[in-house]
Amino acid sequence: EIKKRLIGTGFIGGKSVGMLLARNILHKDTTFDWSAELEIHDSFYIGSDIFYSYMVQNGWWKLLMVQKTDEGYFEVARELKSKMLHGVFPDEVKEQFQLMLEYFGQSPIIVRSSSLLEDAFGNAFAGKYESYFCVNQGTPEERYRHFEEAVRKIFASTMNEDALTYRLQRGMAQQDEQMALLVQRVSGSHRNTYFFPDLAGVGLSYNTFVWQKGMDPKAGMLRIVFGLGTRAVNRVENDYPRIVALDAPLTKPYAKQEDIKRFSQSEVDILNLQDNNFQTLPVTDLLTDSFETHLDMIATRDIAASEYLQSLGKPAKDAWILTFDELLENTAFAQTMSNMLRKLEQVYRYPVDIEFTVNFNAQGKTQINLLQCRPFQTKGHYSRVELPEKISKSKILLQQEANFMGGSIYQAISRIIYIDPKGYAGLSLSEKHEVARLTGKLNKQIGRREVMPTILLGPGRWGTTTPAMGVPVKFSEINNITAIGEIAYQDGSLIPDLSFGTHFFQDMVEMDIFYMAIYPEKSDVLFNTAWMKKQPNILTDLMPDDARFENIVHVYDVRAKDLRLLSDIVTQKMICFLGK
């Protein structure tokens, strides 16, 4: 099958291998009829040798060799990346590209990175390389031009600073990294001038972030969205995919009824066939009967919104909230996904992370397209840690049940970096960005985590691109942190959100960073900020040029306090307390 669909020669890369291996595992499973559940994939593979042919054809081989040296690793990469965006392909490669595009016609396709090192055990490369949708409309010449542009961009992404840093941190800087590509027909259907699947998502066979006592981490979890899966794999601001614990699919990670709408998906990613581009639209534009979106399965009527419209004298109109409740409660979908994840984990002998789309067939039954499967890096999640029973309340810095990720931990802490939520909320936009850069400088100053284990605490979402939602750090600005806490600050609408399955999430897991979502107003949470504020703030000693932020950014040296962070995955309890 691969040989018939292979363009060029060489390897097909980690992403392609993972997808094919996972499908093969399921098709060989005699305990379940997967052929009735799985959508057939339609893929081509661009061999890794094409990448080197591209480099040679354009006269960049010597430059590539210089880039592999210590001196040229980052410096030459910037020059190479710029050149790779404008190269030409050999004629024989162009011919094969054109034949493939003739086969797909005007069906939308996605061009995905599938490098040699990608998606291997221990190396997910999540979000480090690019993937691009080609809406694939227009003349054959226009379609070819868009496709070739996508290939160039993905080849050039091998020189991205994030990817190079990732390789360096994992001792892979000198390993041969060639970029193969996976080209797939986009799963979905036409709805007027739009194209998108009914839903898409990410699945993890081990739920590292159970939010309620009694949930079984080994049951796995999903993060699902309406439309294209880009909103499931990327951390999206002001929007919330549906999180599903597969042993309790209807249980939501928030308690109040009014939060159902607040924490639901509000925008959807689609391909616009008329405009020939990728677009993001309000879900309200598509949650209507005219788009055949199986509303009864994916959405719940928003009665309050409908009544409000009527009270304003506006025409009666059904309003909907994306909950996926009917799909999860009254179909076999959740059980099928649970079976899939369990089987893949069983054969891999390791937790797995998948990407998928779902479409309803003519009979209203779900058809699952398994797009990706890779080992999911979990460290120390299965062990037990005995938490001390009787500790004086004055000695406790933080105590809570659930709302943490990182399994069982017993860790001595040397330093705390605390961004005051109220103070941060009052900063200007530019000052919030300055706080993010300051966090990065403090992170760099830590050096090795094992020498200076540090807890980083701050309001809302770490790694956000919207400063009003949290601190807009890049992952490289927190990668030396041992444990990270997102603090809910209601007055500033700063709410924690560990976006399961996203690239930011994957980076945290791979770097073994312990995560805590802290809700100080909850009755079962003890968060002792009063103790912290009595400690000397050493920010000005470490960063004298940033002294103006000393009322916002607090750095505490706690080496003499015997501060310890403990969590137990089985009882779902965690505590951070002073030994002295």
207 is written with which tokens?
A: 């739920």
Which residue stretches of 295-407 are H helix?
295-298, 303-311, 325-330, 333-348
Same domain, 103 and 240: no
- Residue 387: inside a domain, yes or no? no
pLDDT at 257: 67
Q: Are 354 and 247 within one domain?
A: yes
Residue carrying structure tokens 């304003």: 312
The alpha carbon of 87 is separated from its chain's Cα centroid by a whole number of angstroms, namely: 31
Contact 579, 388 (CB under 8 A): no
Average pLDDT, the chain: 88
| Angle at 31 (CA atoms; ends 26, 35), nearest 5 degrees | 45
Higher pLDDT, 372 or 161: 372
pLDDT at 457 over 90: yes
Place of tokens 């399965």: 297
Please tell me whether residues 409 and 533 are part of one structural domain.
Answer: yes
User: Concatenated DSSP letters for 273-308?
Assistant: TTTTEEEEEEHHHH-SGGGT--HHHHEEE-HHHHHH
Q: Do 253 and 111 reside in the same domain of the chain? A: no
In a 10 Å sphere around its CB, with 0-12 CB exposed, 13-18 middle and 19+ buried, how is residue 369 labelled? Answer: buried
**Token pair belonging to 499:** 């976006």
Integer Cα distance of 291 and 287 in angstroms:
7
Q: Which residue has the higher pLDDT, 15 or 259?
A: 15
Q: C-alpha angle with apex 251: 514 to 574, nearest 5 degrees?
A: 30
Output the DSSP codes for 181-194. EEEEEPP-EEETTE
- The count of structural domains within the chain is 3
Q: What is the pLDDT of residue 306?
A: 66
One domain, residues 330 and 432: no
What is the rounded CA–CA span in Å between residue 511 and residue 233?
18
Instruction: Please tell me the predicted confidence (pLDDT) of residue 376.
Output: 79
Judged by DSSP in three states, 386 sits in coil
Q: Of the residues 331, 349, 375, which one is the last residue of a structural domain? A: 375
**Residue 35, domain member (yes or no):** yes
Q: Say whether both 488 and 411 belong to one domain.
A: yes
Domain boundary, last residue among 186, 219, 234: 186
Is residue 121 predicted with pLDDT exceeding 70?
no
What is the rounded distance in angstroms from the CA atom of residue 554 to the CA atom of residue 457? 10
Task: Tell me whether residue 364 is in a domain.
Answer: yes
Task: Dump pLDDT digits (tens) for 29-55.
Answer: 999 999 999 999 999 999 999 999 999
Q: What φ, ψ does residue 152 adopt, rounded to 5°?
A: -60, -45
* H-only helix segments in 105-178: 140-156, 161-169
Comparison of pLDDT for 506 and 2, the residue scoring more? 2
Q: Answer yes or no: is pLDDT of 466 > 90.
A: no
pLDDT exceeds 50 at position 329: yes
Read off the pLDDT of residues 225-247 as tens digits, 9 standing for 90 and up.
Answer: 999 999 888 766 667 788 899 99
Instruction: Supply the pLDDT for residue 177.
Output: 79
On the CB side of 333, how many CA atoms lie within 13 Å of its CA? 32
Residue 413 sits in the same domain as residue 365:
no
Residue 385 lies in a domain: no
196 and 323 in a common domain = yes
User: What mean pLDDT do residues 123-148 have?
Assistant: 86
DSSP 8-state class, residue 218 = G
Residues 6+ apart with CB under 8 A from 126: 502, 503, 506, 507, 510
The CATH number given to whatever domain includes residue 108 is 3.30.1490.20
Looking at the structure, do residues 198 and 180 belong to the same domain, yes or no? no
Distance in angstroms (rounded) separating the CA atoms of residues 454 and 415: 5
Q: Which of 123-127, 175-179, 193-197, 243-247 has the lowest mean pLDDT?
A: 123-127
pLDDT of residue 317: 66
**Tokens standing for residue 370:** 């398994």
Spatial CB neighbours of 545, under 8 Å, sequence gap ≥ 6: none
Mean pLDDT of 479-508: 75
Distance CA 523, CA 519 (A): 9
**What's the count of helices (H) and strands (E) in the chain, helices before strands?**
19, 27
Q: Which residue has the higher pLDDT, 112 or 510?
A: 112
3-state secondary structure of 505: helix
b/e map of 462-492 (b: 16 or more CB within 10 Å)?
bbbeebebbbbbbbbbbbbbbbbbbbbbeeb
Domain end point (choices 347, 375, 403): 375
b/e 425-437 (16+ beta carbons within 10 angstroms → b): beeeeeebebbbe
User: Is pLDDT above 60 for 209?
Assistant: yes
Distance CA 7, CA 13 (A): 13
Q: What is the mean predicted confidence (pLDDT) over 312-326?
A: 80
Report whether 407 contacts 47 (CB < 8 A).
Answer: no
Statement: residue 497 has pLDDT above 80: no
Q: Which domain holds residue 320?
A: 192-375
> How many Cα atoms within 13 Å fall on the side-chain side of residue 396?
16
Whether 353 and 399 share a structural domain: no
pLDDT tens digits, residue range 278-294?
Answer: 999 999 889 887 777 78
CATH code of the domain covering residue 329 = 3.30.470.20
Q: Does residue 386 belong to any structural domain of this protein?
A: no
What is the phi/psi pair of residue 356, to 5°?
Answer: -155, 160
* Full-model pTM: 0.77
Q: Which one is predicted more confidently, 345 or 214?
A: 345
Per-residue pLDDT, 264: 86
For the chain, the C-alpha Rg in angstroms (whole number) is 25
Q: Tell me: pLDDT of 301 over 90.
A: no
Average the pLDDT over 7-13 and give the result.
94
Domain-embedded: residue 383? no
Please give the average per-residue pLDDT across 129-142, as a whole number. 93
Distance of alpha carbon 291 from alpha carbon 190, whole angstroms:
9
Let me know whether 520 and 440 are in one domain: yes
Please give the average per-residue pLDDT across 498-518, as a whole number. Answer: 71
436/456 Cα distance (integer angstroms): 12
Task: Mark whether 166 and 198 lie in a shared domain.
Answer: no
